[in-house]
């Protein structure tokens, strides 16, 4: 007989007992007065009377009528961007989050070994991290695929790893109505029964139905109709509330039609400034505030994602499951008091008992930004009297318009007075010299330049400026730091190093948050008025939304699925 049965049958005492609480059974959608008895990091039993489970060495947590729920699962996020998670994970725990399903598009730009590095970096944390494999290096829609054939085949093999739970977000633009080089990855995922995550922003009707033959979930529904249409097509709906977007209203508006078992909740990324305020607790709270029943909201943050991603021993407190337990002092307010992760008490009275862990990454992670840093890298010969420019429309979306930049010395120059800036994407891989300089309106930068190596879904550096010399200065600083953000205006006026892969800060989260604020303030002080300018800038390379974006060899006209030039 195993140790769990011994406790369940009253023949041995447990390591830990959470007693006196109202335990949520997400399978039934109801609370019952039970205790949670834990042995060997697993739930042994949910006894109504825990007396026999409590021995002299048993740690007892008194829940005193409070809600006791399974640890929250973030069904979709990006842990390999913005901040090294080993320095930040304790805030997830304070937010009741014990399991995270993370994309790997950042570290994945280092090839399959980058994904292994992400798995290694997160393997021993008291939060369970599971990864999805990025298909992006396989896509050939706007550029040749980044992955070699050998890397593509290694990527497929990584699907066999237990910590890999599926394929990461696949933009519909790369896959609907055309052959895609990611086909073999999708097929292998089907063979091993792991889901494919969609990125169906703006995809509807026949296109969505076609995409449903590839994908299993999607987090891009932003209206009630979008939620229902996904569910109608058998696509698991992942509601989102995080640093990038909050679409919980759409999910709440559709919940009269859609079964909570077919929905999960996610953050889609909690950036350092937000993470210090919580993680999945905020998402569940938001869902409850939007009108979703607490039992349903919690189900969507526990059992639903566990079932969807094949985490058969998580998502509920059923006997045999990993002991991830959260005691809430206030159910509707989702106030996290105590967290047990894998049987270990990691949060008491709302504060983590575990903290940041330092880690050294392989040398290539500290030497990942190789770009030209002279003003000539941003020159654009004057040809004609107009050029295409990306127009900021807030958040992730951009539009397109024609602008007439200043002509000087045979080249087009930025015209900050007319809000015409240059915007470049430079390839930062050591063996590549690709780069394209286009134009941008709507940011309002009056002087100087900003550069960042945090370019979504491209191994590049984005540089936006009112002056080519300042663009070169900001780009040089980013390269000098081994990645990060820099704002230049005669000198470097603000910076945030992202030393790990040019993508993640290895400073304390609090310091990362502060420096992020200084970068934003430096832009604001130079006339930038748009909402969330750092989001707008880092997504200039993101082809996940139907818009005009920066690519290494031109503009990516995402809707038309073609590369276009300045005119």
Q: Please give the residue ranges that form the binding site for ligand ADE (CB under 6 A).
A: 78, 81, 105, 169, 244, 268-269, 456-457, 544
Alpha helices in 413-508 (DSSP H): 468-481
Alpha helices in 99-204 (DSSP H): 112-122, 149-158, 183-192
Rounded CA separation 97/100 (Å): 7
Rounded CA separation 82/30 (Å): 38
Rounded CA separation 18/34 (Å): 9
For the bound state, the minimum distance from the C-beta of residue 271 to ligand ADE, rounded and expressed in Å, comes to 9
Burial class (CB in 10 A: 0-12, 13-18, 19+), 395: middle
For the bound state, the minimum distance from the C-beta of residue 377 to ligand ADE, rounded and expressed in Å, comes to 24
For the bound state, the minimum distance from the C-beta of residue 541 to ligand ADE, rounded and expressed in Å, comes to 9
- When the beta carbons of 456 and 552 are compared against ligand ADE, the nearer one is 456
For the bound state, the minimum distance from the C-beta of residue 495 to ligand ADE, rounded and expressed in Å, comes to 21
| Helix or strand holding residue 522 (H, E) | helix 509-524
- When the beta carbons of 81 and 288 are compared against ligand ADE, the nearer one is 81
**Largest separation between any pair of C-alpha atoms in the chain:** 88
For the bound state, the minimum distance from the C-beta of residue 245 to ligand ADE, rounded and expressed in Å, comes to 8
For the bound state, the minimum distance from the C-beta of residue 399 to ligand ADE, rounded and expressed in Å, comes to 20
For the bound state, the minimum distance from the C-beta of residue 269 to ligand ADE, rounded and expressed in Å, comes to 4
What 8-state DSSP symbol labels residue 511? H
Strand segments, DSSP code E, in 380-533 are 387-392, 398-403, 406-408, 411-413, 420-427, 435-441, 449-452, 460-465, 484-488, 492-497, 504-505
Task: Give the contacts of 277 (CB within 8 A, at least 6 positions apart).
Answer: none
The values of phi and psi at residue 476, to 5°, are -65, -35
């Amino acid at each position: 007989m195993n140790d769990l049965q011994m406790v369940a049958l009253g023949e041995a005492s447990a390591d830990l007992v959470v007693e006196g609480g109202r335990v949520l059974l997400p399978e039934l959608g109801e609370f019952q007065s039970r205790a949670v008895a834990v042995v060997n990091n697993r739930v042994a039993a949910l006894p109504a009377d825990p007396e026999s489970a409590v021995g002299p060495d048993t740690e007892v947590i008194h829940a005193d009528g409070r809600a006791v729920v399974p640890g929250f699962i973030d069904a979709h996020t990006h842990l390999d961007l913005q901040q090294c998670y080993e320095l930040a994970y304790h805030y997830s725990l304070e937010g009741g989050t014990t399991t995270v399903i993370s994309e790997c598009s950042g570290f994945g730009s280092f090839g399959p070994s980058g994904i292994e590095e992400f798995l290694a970096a997160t393997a021993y944390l008291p939060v369970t991290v599971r990864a999805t494999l990025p298909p992006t290096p396989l896509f050939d829609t706007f550029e040749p695929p980044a992955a070699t054939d050998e890397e593509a085949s290694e990527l497929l093999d990584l699907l066999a790893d237990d910590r890999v739970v599926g394929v990461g977000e696949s933009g519909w633009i790369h896959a609907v109505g055309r052959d895609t080089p990611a086909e073999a990855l999708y097929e292998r995922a089907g063979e091993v029964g792991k889901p494919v995550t969609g990125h169906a922003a703006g995809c509807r009707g026949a296109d969505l139905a076609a995409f449903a033959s590839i994908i299993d979930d999607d987090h891009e529904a932003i209206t009630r109709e979008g939620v229902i249409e996904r569910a109608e097509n058998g696509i698991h709906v992942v509601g989102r509330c995080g640093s990038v977007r909050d679409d919980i209203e759409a999910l709440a508006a559709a919940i009269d039609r859609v079964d909570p078992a077919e929905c999960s909740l996610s953050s889609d990324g909690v950036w350092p400034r937000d993470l210090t305020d919580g993680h999945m607790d905020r998402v569940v709270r938001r869902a409850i505030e939007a009108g979703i029943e607490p039992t349903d909201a919690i189900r969507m943050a526990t059992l639903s994602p566990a079932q969807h991603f094949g985490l058969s021993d998580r998502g509920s407190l059923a006997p045999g499951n990993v002991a991830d337990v959260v005691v809430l002092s206030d159910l509707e307010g989702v106030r996290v008091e105590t967290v047990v992760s894998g049987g270990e008490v990691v949060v008491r009275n709302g504060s983590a008992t575990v903290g940041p862990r330092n880690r050294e990454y392989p040398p290539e992670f500290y030497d990942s930004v190789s770009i030209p840093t002279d003003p000539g890298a941003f020159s654009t010969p004057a040809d004609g009297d107009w050029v295409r420019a990306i127009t900021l429309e807030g958040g992730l979306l951009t539009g397109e318009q024609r602008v007439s930049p200043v002509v000087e010395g045979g080249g087009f120059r930025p015209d900050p007075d007319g809000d015409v800036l240059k915007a470049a994407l430079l390839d930062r891989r050591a063996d590549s010299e690709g780069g394209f300089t286009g134009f941008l309106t709507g940011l309002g930068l009056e002087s100087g330049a900003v550069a960042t190596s945090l370019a979504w879904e491209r191994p590049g550096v984005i540089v936006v400026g009112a002056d080519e010399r300042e663009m070169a200065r900001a780009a040089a600083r980013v390269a000098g730091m081994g990645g990060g953000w820099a704002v230049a205006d005669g000198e470097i006026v603000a910076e945030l190093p992202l030393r790990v892969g040019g993508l993640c800060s290895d400073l304390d989260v609090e310091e990362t948050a502060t420096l992020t604020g200084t970068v934003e303030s430096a832009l604001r002080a130079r006339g930038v008025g748009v909402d969330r300018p750092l989001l707008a800038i880092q997504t200039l390379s993101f082809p996940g939304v139907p818009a005009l974006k920066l690519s290494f060899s031109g503009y990516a006209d995402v809707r038309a699925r073609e590369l276009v030039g300045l005119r």
